[in-house]
Structure 1
Amino acid sequence: MSANALPARRNFLSTSGKATLSVAAIALLAGRPDLAAAAPGDMGKDVDILNVALGLEHEAINAYQLGAGSGLLQKPVLDVAVLFQSHHKGHRDALIATIEKMGGKPVMERSLDDYAKALNAGTLKSQADVLALAARLELGAANAYLGVIPSFKEAALAQVAGRLAADETMHWTALSSALGRMLPAKPLSFGA
């Protein structure tokens, strides 16, 4: 996959009308099979959307692996990168479990070399380069997860997407701070 395809995958999650998850899919993500059983929805479309999200989580896990293995990250930044990677592994596991509960087949993780090529890992020459890449990916993921929230009528179900977006936003904020970047000056900076 080319680097240009990455924003398109994130946009797929937030494209109005084309990629909204059903209540059933979000209920399963939230660990609420009782709500999922009672909810109507097109599970095939949901599986496709969840697989896009899963692909983003695979990408994030491997981006952090590339950063951690690069030798460019110094402590305590390395420890934070490993922590954030563990968050993405938790997201991945929740998505895989949900896709399987829906009868779908989770998209497979590609090789580390494939992610290195797609993310242009060869251009990473410093800790700041690694952090900038991670911050860009986290911002894209936060916006993607925020983009699906409006499709939920049940506040409890929208909470799952909100929690995922909150993790991504927390990651972006910490990475931006480590880079010495200022926080956004304007309100409502995410999800637009």
Structure 2
Amino acid sequence: MFSFIQKQDTTHTPATANPGDGTRRAFLGHSGLLLSGAAVALLAGRDALAKGSQSGASDARILNTALGAELEAIAAYQLGAESGLLQKPALDLALTFQGHHKEHADVLAKTIVKLGGQPVAAKEKYTFPVDTLKNQADVLRFAAMLEKGAVSAYLGAVPVFGNRELAKAAASILGDEAMHWAILRNALGETPVPSAFMS
């Protein structure tokens, strides 16, 4: 079992920052690297579309960053579940979303292996803004920020695919993250979809 409840390390990202943006956006855009069509095809279970790709090693590296972000999300939801701050039905919601992230991580790990890479392992300890989590709303807001970061990351990836099937596969992953974000906002009493367009 990982150790999650800890004092915030002030040398890391401050609690006022968007905790999900740095990690999740990095694998899809900050470094200037994007998943190849082959990697997204494998993620979507479309192995036939991935045949003939020469970018396996590069894709495996990028996907390992994505896997690291999913593992961090799993740990964040575990933090919420173990905090004692979540009451039903919010606790059930957090565990459901954690299950989704576990499925994402499983698919990513399998795809990395198919590309010839070695999947990263979860860290024993993550640095989360624990000192700022005082009640259920704080935990849900933290989770919502992580999910918004994931939405932004995938939103940046969808337009780069010329192949409509690959764009569709990436959009499917984005859709799951967007639903998490909207449902968490709703649980906080906020407008689930704050605007007509995602930025």
Shared topology, TM-score over 0.5? yes
Which residue does 1:130 correspond to in 2?
139
CA RMSD after TM alignment: 2.0
Structure having the higher helix fraction is 1
Which residue does 2:75 correspond to in 1?
62
Q: Alignment partner for residue 2 of structure 1, among 5, 12, 17?
A: 12
Q: Distance in 1 between matches of 2:132 and 2:138?
A: 8
Which residue does 1:165 correspond to in 2?
174
For structure 2, the 5+ residue unaligned runs are 1-10
What secondary structure, in the 3-state scheme, does the structure 2 residue paired with 1:15 have? Answer: helix
Give the Å deviation of 1:105: 1.0
Structure with more contact order per residue of length (Cα contacts < 8 Å, sep ≥ 6): 2
Give the Å deviation of 1:188: 1.0
Query: Is 1:11 aligned to 2:11, yes or no?
Result: no
Query: Is 1:154 aligned to 2:163, yes or no?
Result: yes
Which residue does 2:34 correspond to in 1?
20
Q: Distance in 1 between matches of 2:33 and 2:112?
A: 15
Return closer, same or farther for 1:131/1:16 CA change in 2, 3 Å cut-off: closer
Identity of aligned pairs, percent?
A: 48
Give the paired residue count.
185
Give the Å deviation of 1:148: 1.1
Which residue does 2:86 correspond to in 1?
73
Q: Distance in 2 between matches of 1:33 and 1:186?
A: 36
TM-score, length-normalised on structure 1? 0.88
TM-score, length-normalised on structure 2? 0.85
Query: Is 1:139 aligned to 2:148, yes or no?
Result: yes
Deviations 1:44-101 (A, max 9, x none): 2211211111111101111100000111101111111111100000100000000000
Q: Distance in 2 between matches of 1:30 and 1:17?
A: 23
Give the Å deviation of 1:184: 4.5
Contact persistence 2:20–2:147 (CA under 8 A) = no
Q: Distance in 2 between matches of 1:13 and 1:173?
A: 23
